[in-house]
Amino acid sequence: MPSDLVIVYHRQPYEEVEENGRIVRRENSSPNGIVPTLKSFFGRVGHGSWVAWKLAEDPADPNWERVVEIEDSFGRYSVSRLPLTEAQVRSFYHITSKEAFWPILHSFKERYNYDPVDWPVFREVNWAFAEAAAAEAAPGGVVWVHDYNLWLVPGYVRRLRPDVKIAFFHHTPFPSADMFNVLPWRREIVESLLACDEVGFHIPRYAANFVSVARSLFDVAVTGEEKTRPDFSADGTALAEHRVPTRIAHGSHEVLLSAFPVGVDAGYIRELADGDDTRARAAAIRDELGGCQMIISVARTDYTKGNIEQLLTFERLLERRPELRGKVRLMHVSVSANRNMTAYEEVQSEIEQITGRINGRFGSFEWQPVSLIGQAIPFRELVAYYRAADVAWITPLCDGLNLVAAEFCAARGDGEGVLVLSEFAGIAVELSEAVLTNPFSNRSMDAAIDQALAMAPVERRSRMEALRAKVARYDIRAWAAEQQRLFDSIHRPLDAAPARPASRAGGIPPRDAA
């Protein structure tokens, strides 16, 4: 059945688990997160589809069930599953996306690795996503593509289906032109994004950077600009922008631009945090601390997240202030992002080494300064830790947004807790009432953690009240409403016909698509 909305995302919209020797599909266990939010859009259309990849030993297997029909609490929708081999996944995702794109997106030029990239494979995989989306979309429907590993999909979809509306949301930072243009495929990537009708980013800085990149490569004109929302223009902070572009033109084609952060399900987190079970668990955690102040840090193991810089700051804290020994503990949750990548293994090894050194230097039989947790904590349990913590310490070197900071604020219905936040996390432009810090400066990091641990109750509550109000105002429902408004404002010619028949059969991009 043709779909009014086709969501193109690398992950499948359900969890696959083994039960009694067979694989079954389960709805996502938590309503908090991007996948349930995206699925909620299916309730606004007659029929929806989702395009994702799935690992396959033999993509040519005639028994492969390419399209499955799903019925869950979000309704009925189709899932088009692209069979990719391990070699394709490694090339497309682990090498091109993570070793070439990821460091450039986060402005770590020194970690960029071009040599192992097989660009034809990346094109091939993106073409497969585009063909599947083109096959599913109804005339005049919306194809909504998500994130940098699918950068080429919009351009391919436009070739296949000139009649559809194409939107793209960028979930990572978008860097400046001098950084982005390190990529040798820059023109092909940006030309594909300029085929969209609408491109969305978390914050104004990323939209401005995209315009700068586009203008460096093509004859692009800014045709719309407006003042940044007051809530997103924290004066003097690293990522602040006072004006934001809203429309650009490339030839006769106009592209809408938006800057609106994905939020959390603030209501769900608030309800969870205020529940009797969570309150009891938080109280038990406080009892275990024995009067110590607790700092909580939650991040993936990634060189962009500032894990190492944060641990070194904590080590300096115990060196500078011996009176805090035995009186403060750091719960450092560092979950491995990808155990198969050398860069992340090196970061994890250094985290473990520094943690061992801190605990060896300052710990005692009664008190261990750092608790290092390397596995994901169930969300309900994590909310209890948020509720029990004195300080949330979120200090990435670069981050597209960072929803841990928002989760912490949403969980603090008691009005307590201090958020220490890096200026280089996208969410810092929204959560400007946090204690903002520069993770590239030892002095700034030291001052921020000192301020947080010593903050007076009146100031703590005032800051948290303002933070919670913003997290509630810009929650996941506000983001969804903004995306729907943008979809409704996109117009395509009703008489535009597909350029060529769309097919589910897969294939490779035509030679002139390079």
Neighbours of 184 (CB within 10 A): 11
Low-confidence ranges of the chain (pLDDT < 50): 501-506, 513-514
- CA 41, CA 142: separation in Å to the nearest integer? 11
> Do residues 54 and 81 make contact, with C-beta atoms less than 8 angstroms apart?
yes
Which candidate, 391, 395, 493, 400, places its Cα nearest to that of 436? 395
Residue 102 φ then ψ, to 5°? -55, -50
- CA 296, CA 488: separation in Å to the nearest integer? 41
- CA 425, CA 395: separation in Å to the nearest integer? 8
As a residue count, the chain comes to: 514
Query: 235: helix, coil or strand?
Result: coil
Give pLDDT, residue 509: 65
Please report the beta strands in 303-382, taking only residues with DSSP state E, as ranges in sequence order.
328-336, 370-373
Helix ranges (H only) for 66-140 are: 86-89, 102-105, 119-136
> Do residues 194 and 255 make contact, with C-beta atoms less than 8 angstroms apart?
yes
- CA 22, CA 28: separation in Å to the nearest integer? 18
- CA 486, CA 21: separation in Å to the nearest integer? 45
The model's pLDDT over 426-444, given as tens digits with 9 standing for 90+, comes to: 999 999 999 999 999 999 9
The pair of three-digit structure tokens given for residue 190, joined into one six-digit string: 């940006």
DSSP classification of residue 378: P
> Do residues 245 and 257 make contact, with C-beta atoms less than 8 angstroms apart?
yes
Instruction: For residue 352, give Cα distances in angstroms to 109, 345, 348, 358, 440.
Output: 25, 11, 6, 10, 21
- CA 56, CA 60: separation in Å to the nearest integer? 9
Cα atoms in the 13 Å half-sphere on the side-chain side of 340: 9
Cα 433 to the center of its chain, rounded Å: 22
The model's pLDDT over 348-390, given as tens digits with 9 standing for 90+, comes to: 999 999 999 999 999 999 999 999 999 999 999 999 999 999 9
Helix ranges (H only) for 201-256 are: 204-217
**Residue 41 host element (H or E):** none
Give pLDDT, residue 339: 58
The pair of three-digit structure tokens given for residue 234, joined into one six-digit string: 């924290």
Instruction: For residue 51, give Cα distances in angstroms to 38, 230, 502.
Output: 12, 37, 14
- CA 281, CA 302: separation in Å to the nearest integer? 30
> Do residues 166 and 158 make contact, with C-beta atoms less than 8 angstroms apart?
yes
- For the entire predicted model, the pTM comes to 0.94
Query: 211: helix, coil or strand?
Result: helix
Give pLDDT, residue 304: 96
